[in-house]
Amino acid sequence: MRMRLRVKHSALVVLLVVLGNRASSQAAFPVDTAKLAERADETTSISLDKTMLQFAGKFLSSSEEDREAQRIIAKLDGIYVRTYGFKKPNTYSASEIESFRRQFSGPEWSRIVAVHAKDPDEDTDIYVHMTDGRVAGMFILAAEAGELTFVHIVGAITPEDLDQLSGNFGIPKKHLKKEQPRGEDQR
């Protein structure tokens, strides 16, 4: 009886250590969105660590576009998305958005895209995280009147890779895709 209890106790300790290591290996979400979550009418949280990205990649087809997405996610350590939907527009303030932006003003982060309309409800910012001269991740803040989306990508990713992944894994398309030039024969 005592031996069985010791084995159970040892197994529990091993399980806690493994889970603790797994949790600490996940990237911390770089902004605190708890207050937004309290006010939101709808929240979406997507957390794909490296293992889950590899698993999700298996569901992609063999098309050229999906093979390219598989190549990109193989380089990533995680994609973490938080989206907050609000029934009433302007449930969040411009000062709240600005406080999120300020968190990326340090030397390891550089803003590479800023799409800001006169109406502050249609803003997108993309920041790149640099470590030892290499891209180590990106952070996207996309604000609309009734929705805020935050995307934290951990790992080596380029703006072209981001463009390829937009619309997948919870990464928004709006403001990320380049406008296609219009030809004279296009209607």
In the chain, domain spans: 18-165
90/122 Cα distance (integer angstroms) = 11
In this prediction the pTM is: 0.72
Contact at 8 Å (CB) between 52 and 58?
no
Contact at 8 Å (CB) between 70 and 49?
no
How would you write the pLDDT of the chain (187 residues) with one tens digit per residue? Answer: 433 333 333 333 333 333 333 333 345 788 999 998 999 999 999 999 999 998 888 887 778 878 888 888 888 999 999 999 999 877 888 888 899 999 998 888 999 989 888 765 678 999 999 988 888 999 999 998 889 999 999 998 877 887 777 776 767 775 554 443 334 443 3
Element (H, E) at 58: none
Phi, psi at 116, each rounded to 5°: -125, 120
**What's residue 134's pLDDT?**
87
Per residue in 32-43, pLDDT tens? 999 989 999 999
